[in-house]
């Protein structure tokens, strides 16, 4: 089957350290050339995939996250999370997850969330008695919230590919993100009690309330950022793309003139870093579109549809199959590329089973997000290990408990559409 040949080819190229975007491009152009498709058609597909106003949101959200990290905004969110639940036994781990939830409302990126939150919270957790590999595993797992809680880059890509409202998809991600964050917080607290991590002294209510009030005041401008972004989108004041630009300017004003932690001389470095990350993502988007074009003219979507249809007519069984397929795909393929390639294939099939496209989008994004914290190519794992100064094999064992929780969350989101559709239908 051609799709298996494509997957095998991609895995071989990735195994020899070919970058994801380049590997997809090689497969795309080789396949089109073998079928006698003029290369000008492939080039046109690549160009048209990037010729999108909505896609402009991607580099701006990445830039906003970079400004937030460099300008002291993320540190204030860490302080607020610590003030809220850091005094509980196991609360410091929970605060790391809560910080990831705060950061996710601005960054839109899993890797950016993991790097920003991990650089601050992993050393703090180690200082409080958490094993270094456990702290890294927790931060890696919570980093996936960066692409589930809006704004989210994978959600933007899904909306573009499937012609769905990005604002509606953003709203759909709120409850699943809160549920996943809550489950990780609860798990971290339970593990801390069982293992004896994080020996803290409880605070009187008055002292706790004062600490929260001070931290909330110091983080007030940081908290206004997601309120402005998401509030503006949901009220129709501006589009998700325009919201990304607003986030950049708001972050610059707060970081340069209010907090004054981002110096003018470092501004160029922030822009260059964001540009490099954006270029890598858009490179993947462009060539994944070419691969999608190749699969379409090869009638792969129709073949997969017939195959799945022959397996079951039950939508619940279909969702189980899709969950397994997406989970495995996320282990080996970059999230944005997987969405561009698989959404046009699986989305129409899901519609024949009566599954709402907004709900199906959340199923896709959550499954692929978990792939970011799953060996062998989970990007969050590499980032967390680098921040913590440990080897990849050291993070696997403490990660298992969080993967188990995330898999339960996946099934709940898949089989309880209300979580995704409560605010949109």
Phi/psi of residue 304, nearest 5 degrees: -65, -40
Residue 93 contacts residue 135 (beta carbons within 8 Å): yes
pLDDT one-digit tens code per residue, 132-154 = 999 999 999 998 998 899 888 89
**Which token pair is 88?**
């509980």
What pLDDT is attached to residue 45? 79
Does 22 reside within a domain?
Answer: no
Q: Rounded distance, CA 167 to CA 421, Å?
A: 13
Q: What is the mean pLDDT of residues 125-130?
A: 83
Q: Could you report the per-residue pLDDT of 231-240, keeping only the tens digit for each?
A: 888 787 888 8
**Beta carbons within 8 Å of 425's beta carbon, 6+ residues apart:** 356, 358
* Tokens of residue 211, six digits: 């600490």
For the chain, the domain total comes to 1
Residue 348 lies in a domain: yes
Residue 201 domain-assigned? yes
pLDDT mean across residues, the chain:
84
pLDDT tens-digit series, residues 313-335: 889 999 999 998 888 888 777 78
The predicted pLDDT at position 158 comes to 93
Residue 163, Cβ neighbours under 10 Å: how many? 8
- Establish if 271 belongs to a structural domain: no
pLDDT greater than 70 at residue 205: no
Mean pLDDT of 17-41: 80
What are the tens digits of pLDDT across the range 357-407? 999 999 999 999 998 888 766 778 888 888 888 888 888 899 999 999 999
DSSP 242-270: HHHHHHHHHHHHIIIIIS--S-HHHHHHH
Range of the domain at 379: 52-262+299-421
Q: Look at 295 and 99; give whichever has higher pLDDT.
A: 99
* pLDDT for residue 155: 92
Whole-number pLDDT of residue 77: 80
């Amino acid at each position: 089957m051609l799709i298996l040949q494509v997957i095998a080819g991609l895995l071989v190229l990735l195994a020899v350290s070919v970058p994801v975007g380049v590997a997809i491009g090689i497969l795309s152009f080789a396949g089109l050339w073998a079928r006698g498709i003029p290369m000008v058609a492939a080039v046109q597909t690549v160009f048209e995939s990037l010729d999108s106003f909505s896609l402009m949101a991607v580099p701006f959200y990445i830039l906003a996250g970079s400004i937030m990290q460099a300008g002291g905004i993320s540190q204030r969110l860490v302080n607020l999370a610590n003030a809220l639940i850091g005094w509980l036994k196991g609360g410091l781990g929970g605060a790391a997850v809560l910080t990831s939830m705060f950061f996710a409302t601005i960054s839109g990126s899993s890797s950016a969330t993991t790097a920003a939150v991990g650089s601050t919270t992993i050393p703090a957790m180690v200082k409080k008695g958490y094993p270094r590999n456990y702290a890294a595993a927790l931060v890696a797992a919570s980093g996936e919230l960066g692409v589930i809680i809006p704004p989210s880059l994978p959600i933007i890509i899904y909306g573009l590919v499937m012609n769905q409202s990005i604002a509606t998809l953003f709203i759909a991600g709120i409850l699943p993100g809160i549920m996943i964050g809550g489950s990780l917080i609860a798990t971290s607290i339970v593990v801390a009690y069982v293992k004896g991590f994080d020996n803290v002294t409880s605070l009187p209510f008055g002292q706790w309330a004062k600490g929260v009030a001070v931290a909330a005041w110091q983080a007030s401008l940081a908290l206004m950022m997601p309120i402005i972004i998401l509030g503006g989108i949901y009220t129709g004041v501006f589009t998700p793309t325009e919201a990304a630009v607003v986030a950049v300017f708001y972050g610059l004003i707060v970081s340069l003139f209010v907090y004054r932690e981002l110096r003018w001389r470092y501004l160029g470095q922030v822009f260059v870093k964001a540009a490099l990350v954006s270029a890598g993502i858009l490179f993947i988007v462009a060539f994944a579109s070419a691969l999608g074009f190749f699969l379409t003219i090869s009638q792969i979507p129709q073949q997969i549809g017939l195959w799945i249809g022959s397996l079951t007519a039950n939508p619940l069984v279909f969702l189980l199959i899709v969950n397994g397929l997406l989970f495995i795909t996320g282990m080996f393929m970059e999230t944005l590329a997987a969405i561009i390639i698989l959404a046009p294939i699986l989305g129409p099939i899901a519609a024949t089973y009566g599954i709402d496209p907004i709900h199906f989008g959340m199923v896709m994004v959550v499954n692929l997000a978990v792939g970011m914290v799953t060996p062998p190519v989970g990007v969050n794992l590499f980032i967390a290990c680098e921040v913590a100064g440990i080897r990849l094999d050291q993070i696997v064992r403490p990660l298992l408990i969080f993967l188990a929780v995330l898999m339960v969350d996946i099934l709940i989101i898949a089989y309880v559409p209300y979580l995704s559709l409560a605010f949109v239908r």
